[in-house]
Chain A
């Protein structure tokens, strides 16, 4: 019995071992395929009169032609273009590097278990990781490579101006790194676990791809864009690197500073009205005697939160436009919606109208955690309602108040409500509505200031992240409430 189970276990281990080998080897071969058949470099149409993409195999071929490449253009003229040898040598080196890694892994896995298993494993893993790092270095080197190339027109261009260096290098590096990690971290036992969880990994594939494409990749792009000077015809990857120029502009240009200042101003206004009124309302709701009445009121005050800003704008319009309620009541014809004087009050009040009820939901949750016996005791002791609020209710939800305040301070650069401002502004009030979010639309998008816009949102996100993390930390330390 015992022998049989041991035998079974050994058998299992052996298949797991093979699974791991198969996994690792196939990833390395995938790398090699990427390098050979993937489009490593693309050439812009604007530089020569034809587009051409280079797969790895073509590059390797170029190595034997001293980097020269002949091609007929659209008009039938023969064009000879010489490419910098650094690309050819580098790619060839990369090719041999991956082949070497592959060889190491094949040697490691062919004979099954070896005596100095640990040493082999480490060697294999670190060779893959080194190869991955070298790939990244090569990629970055090419990005910043100062070799000037004379193209067909005889212009001088930097390497990255002529070639669009594809991100496939990063994919290769990632895959190689994965190989190393699999080798190091995947214990043989994990392989069996992984096998058991295979359907679960299947569940993750589509969601993860979507997250990587629509959440993660924009972050990468934002970082790249904010250090470049974006020109539409050159594309994101072909535009010039300019270092911190965009950030310098943000912090020195008066107009940009004004935009940031106005963002802070509107955010602070919103923060003030976003904290106190919901607090008062939730205390009132909580102290209502009739539970039925409370739930009716609660459900009513939540409703506006679910309206879109467009609808809120429409409703505001129906009350304040020249033909609206207010003007007919007072027999006037002031167009409140486009007046500079009333713009901020309208924006703030309509925001309060929309979010007041919803703001109570967390306070009410915190309030429901207070021990009701305290209130009974206070009543018997003859405490007045005000004393009760002051001594029981407020201390009971103090943590939640602090938490919410801290979190909205953390979000201060994003809290100006760009969507609402985009709807409510009009020509006379456009200046007042110019905050970071609206700036991104009006100037960043429409005037193609992609780089400055990316730098702006990078700044916004970075500050937001730092503030939220610190605030979360503080709030966890002081009042034991955090986001996670």
Chain B
């Protein structure tokens, strides 16, 4: 009898813990969204849920029309997300397909190079020197070219390819299909889960990235800033950004208006909206593609 009661208590406790964690994960997001819909003048942050008296998209309108810089930044972000993801997934899986062929001469050497690059990375500064010497600084392709190859993704995709049945490939070979056809119409469709998971990670990574803009794009080229870097700049307090940055920002964003909380939150919501939209579509592929992927942290 006692065991049964504690069994029930236990299931109540774990449900409670899970619910609390889920709420904690959602709450800040909900709060942000609600604030972003408040009228900048009537915002009252003293409630846990600052439900606006009347919903207004004024904050969004103001953010999006602020000298159309934000629109441009969104354009840059979309560009890097789309092009970056397509090229990265294509070339990573091409290499993965090549090294997944067991009897390919020279396969061992290539795998050793990839593993070495996983274990030993050239740090920030040497990478900067390389990118600078290729004239990629202050250039929009800095978001794409250095990010195309991700050695981790190559290994993950390769492991998946190696698990595919060899017979289909051989059959296609005998039917006279060339390698490109086999790759496009046999291998890729069979590897949907891993391709989807890798695409999601690359996409999210590209959309979320601000650090490369911070490193490689100077303030004079603010038209190349992606959205996330804009958000970062508009949030950083006065101590953090240097004077040059600040002048630029004032000019760009009309700093008087961006001070408002609801405007900042509108910017934030725009910054995470695509991720939230894409997430449900990819979520079902998680279980298959993710496990290896999450080891890399």
> Which residue numbers of A lie inside 8 Å of B, CB to CB?
186, 190, 193-194, 197, 199-201, 203-204, 206-208, 210-222, 225, 236, 280-281, 283-285, 287-289, 293-294, 296-297, 299-304, 306-311, 313-319, 321, 323-325, 328-329, 337-338, 353, 356-358, 361-362, 365, 382-386, 407-408, 411, 419, 422-423, 425-428, 437, 440-441, 444-445, 450, 453-454, 456-458, 460-462, 464-465, 468-469, 483-484
A356 and chain B: residue at smallest CB distance: B21
Given contacts A204-B98, A215-B149, A221-B130, 14 further A-B contacts (CB under 8 A): A214-B127, A221-B126, A225-B125, A287-B14, A306-B204, A314-B268, A353-B28, A382-B3, A384-B10, A385-B7, A426-B240, A440-B125, A445-B215, A461-B121
Give 24 CB contacts A-B under 8 Å: A199-B179, A201-B98, A204-B95, A213-B130, A214-B146, A218-B122, A219-B117, A221-B126, A281-B21, A289-B11, A300-B25, A301-B21, A308-B210, A314-B231, A318-B264, A319-B31, A323-B261, A324-B261, A325-B48, A329-B48, A384-B6, A419-B211, A456-B123, A461-B123
Residues of A contacting B143 with CB < 8 Å?
none
Q: Which among B99, B121, B215 has the greatest number of chain A C-beta atoms within 10 A?
A: B121
CB nearest neighbor in A for B146: A214
Assembled-state Cα–Cα distance A484/B207 (Å): 29
B124–A453 CB distance below 8 A: yes
Contact residues in B for A462 (Cβ distance below 8 Å): 120
Q: Choose from A208, A285, A428, A483 the contact partner of B95 (Cβ within 8 Å).
A: A208
- B window 1-54: CB within 8 A of A: 3, 6-7, 10-11, 14-15, 17-19, 21-22, 24-26, 28-29, 31-32, 35, 44-46, 48
Interface stretch, picked from B65-73, B188-196, B248-256, B269-277, is B269-277
Q: Which residues of B contact A318 (CB under 8 A)?
A: 28, 31-32, 35, 261, 264-265, 268
> Using Cβ atoms and an 8 Å threshold, which residues of chain B touch A357?
21, 25
Chain B interface bracket (under 10, 10 to 19, 20 to 34, 35 or more): 35 or more
**B109-141 contact mask (Cβ, 8 Å, vs A): 1 or 0:** 010011111011111111111110010000000
Tell me if A's interface is mostly helix, strand, loop or mixed: helix
B232 touches A423 (CB 8 A): yes
Smallest distance from the beta carbon of B280 to chain A beta carbons, Å? 8
- For the complex, what is the distance from the CA of A229 to the CA of B280, rounded to whole Å? 51
- How many angstroms between the C-alpha atoms of A280 and B46 in the bound complex? 33
User: B32 to chain A: which residues have CB within 8 Å?
Assistant: 314-315, 318
Give A382 to B25 CA distance when docked, in angstroms.
35
Which single member of A323, A457, A460 contacts B126 (CB below 8 Å)?
A457
**Cβ B228 vs Cβ A457 within 8 A:** no
A-binding residues in B (CB < 8 A): 3, 6-7, 10-11, 14-15, 17-19, 21-22, 24-26, 28-29, 31-32, 35, 44-46, 48, 91-92, 94-95, 97-99, 101, 103-105, 110, 113-117, 119-131, 134, 145-146, 148-149, 151, 154-155, 178-180, 183, 204, 207-211, 214-215, 228-229, 231-232, 235, 237, 239-240, 261, 264-265, 267-268, 271-272, 275-276, 279, 283, 286-287, 290-291, 294-295, 297
Decide yes or no: A310 and B210 within 8 Å by CB, A301-B21, A440-B124, A465-B119 being known contacts. Answer: yes
